[in-house]
Structure 1
Amino acid sequence: MRILHTSDWHIGRSFHGHATLDALRGVLDALTAQVRERDVDVVIVAGDVFDSATPAAGAYTLLTDALRGIADAGATVVVTSGNHDSAARLGFQSGLLRDGVHVLTDPSAIGSPVTVHDEHGAVHVYGIPFLEPVLMRGEWPGVRSQADVLARAMDIVRADAATRGGRTVAVAHCFAAGVEPTPHLERDIQQGGLDIVPLSTFAGVDYAALGHIHGRQQLAPHMRYAGAPLHYSFDEGHKPRGSWLVELGADGLGEVEWMPLPVPRVLTTLTATLDELLTDERFAAHCDDWVRAVYTDALPQREPMRRLLARFPYCAEVRHTPPAGRAHPPRTYAERVASARNDSELVDAFLAHVRDGEGASDREAELVRELLDDRVRAEASA
């Protein structure tokens, strides 16, 4: 049996203020083509289908089209909810979809798998929706963390699988031990810090299809993250986009292959002075990329974004990162003022304070002296 493992579609998320629906639609069309070309039997979407608990109408349309397209390509679809999703809204969608598309958001149904058959028998896919520990305490007294609720959920999975026989797949959305999250991108599942789930939690299944981390990762041969199908941050621009094609043979896990997806627009970080970014030919090849421009001038420059957009129409972020300051410890403003011997040095002290150590340039110092001399002459003639 061939299973395509994807996750974290985040339908509706913007990229630095730019809509991503059209780009994501194209990527999911490519995924659907892979399902058809590789005769995939099951497609798993491991949570964070939407980016918001209240998605816009266009997000629902894209999801419906994508799931129906995958089903029309011949695969059974299993979708679970993540921490970004509203389980109620995502679950409501399930009643409107065609046969062969299963949206699993009900914690009480964890022990009721989606069962698919091949020449070797049954494969049971257990979808574990994202479980809020505080909401599950009435059902499962004593749970306090993601580790607790997923341990309970997997106990249910293993107990049910023992009675059914056959091969088993678990789908969950969590931080598993050993993952490397993308900084500032995957939002904490538990407020106040990461809530780590031990790898041993997923023992006893042939494959664990995990979601929540936006880059592909293999924690064990049978335990993987597929990552998001689209780049949503410059910090993850170096991470490939795709999904895992998992083969289950008669005895369980077989080959696992990475299936790359197209990147609609490359993400690039360019670092140089602003003048170099605007004129240097070595940056000409990036005019059609999403660009994060890091300009290294000593002082902030005038309207950098407007000027950069003239060369890079898809410049999405500008950062000013001046060269490292002087080696000696920085002085306070009061210390700078106290050491000034005249008005020119007082102005220089102020400029150094507001410019992180960079005092007046030669031209600025000349202008300051001229202004101060004019003031002295005006006072003398008064």
Structure 2
Amino acid sequence: MRILHTSDWHLGQHFMGKTRQAEHRAFCRWLIEQVHERQVDAVLVAGDVFDTGAPPSYAREQYNQFIVELRETGAELVVLGGNHDSVAMLGESRSLLAQLDTRVVPAVGVDLAEQVLVLERRSGEPGAILCAVPFIRPRDVLQSQAGQSAADKQLSLQQAIQAHYQQLFALAEQRRMELGGGLPIIASGHLTTVGASASESVREIYVGALEAFPTTAFPAADYIALGHIHRPQKVGGLEHIRYSGSPIPLSFDEARQQKEVLLVELDSIGLHKVEALPVPRFQPLHSLRGSLAELPGLLAEVARDGTPEQPVWVEVQISTDDYLSDLQARLASLCEGLPVEVLRIRRERGTTQAGLQREARETLDELNPEEVFDKRLESEELDDPLRAHLLGLHREVLAELREESA
């Protein structure tokens, strides 16, 4: 059984005013080629197929076009909901997409059996059983209780998610016995695990409740396909618990990462091999740091990756000339004639030049709510316990608001 594990496509993302449509289109074409060449049986998207709950029409069209083209390869598709995805939007076309060999699990449902899927080989024979776990919202698995401390809430949510996995795994084992045994069991998830290395584009999803799920709480599945963390990695050094990462860089701190999808091979014994397939870079992206004197050389170097038709997207961090008020004009002059487009300028301010408006990220639309509150607290003289208490309260409020709007 060959499964292609991918996640966090974020179709429809706008990156500092730039659309990622061309990159996503190129990635989808490349992925279809890999499925053809490697005779993949099933493709698993472990959450965040879209960037927002109301994606633009071109992103939905791209999603539908991929489904149609993938069906022509003979592989089936499983799409899991992520924290960025709208449960209603993903779920509205489930019945229709099922006719195109695509199964969608937008959220945890009432019937656990709906999350236990039998994946078939190209021959039509059962090849594996999947515990299809999407992003789990706290309200899906437990009821909040009055008077609980933050630690109690965290423990309750962890135990509830663990129990959900164990119940699904028991059903999967039962289904395996019904099919005669000998089938590997796979589990999925869209969450942060203990020890996972994130990037700045990853949104904290269990703020104030559960920051990370321990690997020991997963069931004894042969392979666990995870999404949400954009950096591809093994979890805790374990070969069978993996984040595939996002297929394109979703923030400048991901610019140096080699993006990949994972080709997972399983048989009746269990996991046979995991092969990382490097994803080509479809849009050159660089983060530069230096003084104005150093930037001409740095810009000339990265300009080699660009063309007039496809300029390099650049973030510039000014390290020593941050006091200058005309940085944008100076950088525009340095980039003149080069296939380079500066999307963000960051000033590395000295400690004497504090203030939220003087931070490296210069506009509020580049900060998430947690960062705005953190920066505001930095301007106050507070002792550590009070600061920690305020941060905890703020994150709990945000968690409740996000849960209500999900």
Distance in 2 between residues matched to 1:318 and 1:233, nearest whole Å:
14
Distance in 1 between residues matched to 2:284 and 2:58, nearest whole Å:
24
Question: Is 2:80 aligned against 1:54?
Answer: no
The match for 1:133 among 138, 144, 148 is: 138
Structure 2, gaps ≥5 residues long: 177-182, 307-311, 354-406
The match for 1:272 among 270, 287, 290 is: 290
Q: Is the 8 A contact 1:94 1:102 kept in 2?
A: yes
Equivalent AA in structure 2 for residue 156 of structure 1: Q
Corresponding residue number in structure 2 for 1:116: 119
The match for 2:202 among 172, 186, 207 is: 186
Q: Is the 8 A contact 1:291 1:312 kept in 2?
A: no
Distance in 2 between residues matched to 1:30 and 1:77, nearest whole Å:
16
Distance in 2 between residues matched to 1:44 and 1:173, nearest whole Å:
12
Aligned length: 322
Worse overlay, 159-168 or 300-309: 300-309
Counterparts of 1:11-26 in structure 2 under 5 Å? 11-26=11-26
Distance in 2 between residues matched to 1:268 and 1:117, nearest whole Å:
41
Distance in 1 between residues matched to 2:207 and 2:144, nearest whole Å:
22
The match for 2:340 among 302, 305, 313 is: 313
Q: Is the 8 A contact 2:41 2:120 kept in 1?
A: no
Equivalent AA in structure 1 for residue 190 of structure 2: H
SS of the equivalent of 1:195 reads: coil
Q: Is the 8 A contact 1:300 1:320 kept in 2?
A: no
Q: CA deviation at 1:74?
A: 1.7
- Post-superposition Cα deviations, 1:137-162, rounded to whole Å, max 9, x if no partner, equal 3599x995552342122122121022
- Post-superposition Cα deviations, 1:103-132, rounded to whole Å, max 9, x if no partner, equal 112423443322124489541112112121
Corresponding residue number in structure 2 for 1:291: 314
Equivalent AA in structure 1 for residue 117 of structure 2: V
Distance in 2 between residues matched to 1:139 and 1:155, nearest whole Å:
21
Q: CA deviation at 1:234?
A: 0.8
Distance in 2 between residues matched to 1:180 and 1:83, nearest whole Å:
18
Cα distance change, pair 305–191 in 1 and its aligned pair in 2 (3 A): farther
Q: CA deviation at 1:180?
A: 0.9
Q: Is the 8 A contact 1:110 1:128 kept in 2?
A: no
Equivalent AA in structure 2 for residue 321 of structure 1: E
SS of the equivalent of 2:10 reads: coil
Q: CA deviation at 1:301?
A: 4.7
Equivalent AA in structure 2 for residue 72 of structure 1: E
Cα distance change, pair 67–201 in 1 and its aligned pair in 2 (3 A): farther
Q: CA deviation at 1:40?
A: 0.3
Worse overlay, 104-113 or 251-260: 104-113
Counterparts of 1:91-102 in structure 2 under 5 Å? 91-97=91-97, 98-102=99-103
The match for 2:232 among 203, 207, 216 is: 216
SS of the equivalent of 1:222 reads: strand
Q: Is the 8 A contact 1:147 1:195 kept in 2?
A: no
Equivalent AA in structure 1 for residue 165 of structure 2: M
- Post-superposition Cα deviations, 1:222-263, rounded to whole Å, max 9, x if no partner, equal 110000011111111121111110000220100110011111
So what's the TM-score if we normalise by structure 2? 0.73
Structure 1, gaps ≥5 residues long: 332-382
Corresponding residue number in structure 1 for 2:357: none
CA RMSD of aligned residues (A): 2.6
Cα distance change, pair 271–117 in 1 and its aligned pair in 2 (3 A): closer
Corresponding residue number in structure 1 for 2:216: 200
Equivalent AA in structure 2 for residue 188 of structure 1: E
Q: Is the 8 A contact 1:111 1:126 kept in 2?
A: no
Distance in 2 between residues matched to 1:193 and 1:32, nearest whole Å:
39
SS of the equivalent of 1:8 reads: coil
Equivalent AA in structure 2 for residue 300 of structure 1: L
- Post-superposition Cα deviations, 1:260-304, rounded to whole Å, max 9, x if no partner, equal 1111123222233325424x3x53231222211223443315224
Cα distance change, pair 173–23 in 1 and its aligned pair in 2 (3 A): same
Identical columns (%): 31
Q: Is the 8 A contact 1:49 1:81 kept in 2?
A: yes
- List structure 1 segments (4+ residues) > 6 angstroms apart after TM superposition: none
Corresponding residue number in structure 2 for 1:227: 245
Cα distance change, pair 133–272 in 1 and its aligned pair in 2 (3 A): closer
